Amino acid sequence: MSRDHDTTPPTLEQRARRRVALKASFYVHAIVFALVNGGLLLVSWIGGWGEGWGHGHRHAMVFPLWGWGLGLAIHGTVVLLQLKGDGLTQRMLDHEIEALKRREGGDHP
């Protein structure tokens, strides 16, 4: 039993939609990061963070900031590589098509 796979390349609109979705997901992540960590910073400044723990824990809000910041940086790197990789994949595909055309001695697919 064989499965049919759609081997047609994605249309320009499909590629654009994918790129927009990648960017939008990162923007949402960055906005939520800024809002939540800004709120934690505000609570820390007001003095509510770490109350009852003693003065030494007042700066405990840096732990989620660093951890989540690392996650946001990784997300941004993955998005950037996928966006740049899209162009690289297309260039490699174009190169292989040209090489096959030269090898076969014609312009037919």
pLDDT tens-place string over residues 67-104: 999 999 999 999 998 888 877 777 888 889 899 889 88
Asked if the structure places residue 42 within a domain, the reply is: yes
Dihedral pair phi/psi, residue 89, rounded to 5°? -60, -45
% of the chain with per-residue pLDDT over 90: 28
> Which pTM was predicted?
0.65
Check residue 32 and give its pLDDT: 97
d(CA 35, CA 8) in angstroms, rounded, equals 42
Check residue 70 and give its pLDDT: 95
DSSP character at residue 107: S
Asked if the structure places residue 53 within a domain, the reply is: yes
Asked if the structure places residue 6 within a domain, the reply is: no
Check residue 55 and give its pLDDT: 53
Asked if the structure places residue 52 within a domain, the reply is: yes
- Say which amino acid occupies 11: T
Check residue 4 and give its pLDDT: 57
Asked if the structure places residue 5 within a domain, the reply is: no
Asked if the structure places residue 77 within a domain, the reply is: yes
Domain that holds residue 82: 16-104
Q: For the chain, what is the domain count?
A: 1
Check residue 106 and give its pLDDT: 60
Check residue 36 and give its pLDDT: 92
Residues 15-20 have a mean pLDDT of 90
Asked if the structure places residue 8 within a domain, the reply is: no
Residues 19-29 have a mean pLDDT of 95
For tokens 């098509």, what's the residue?
97
Asked if the structure places residue 85 within a domain, the reply is: yes
Q: Yes or no: say if 41 and 48 are a contact pair by the CB < 8 Å rule.
A: no
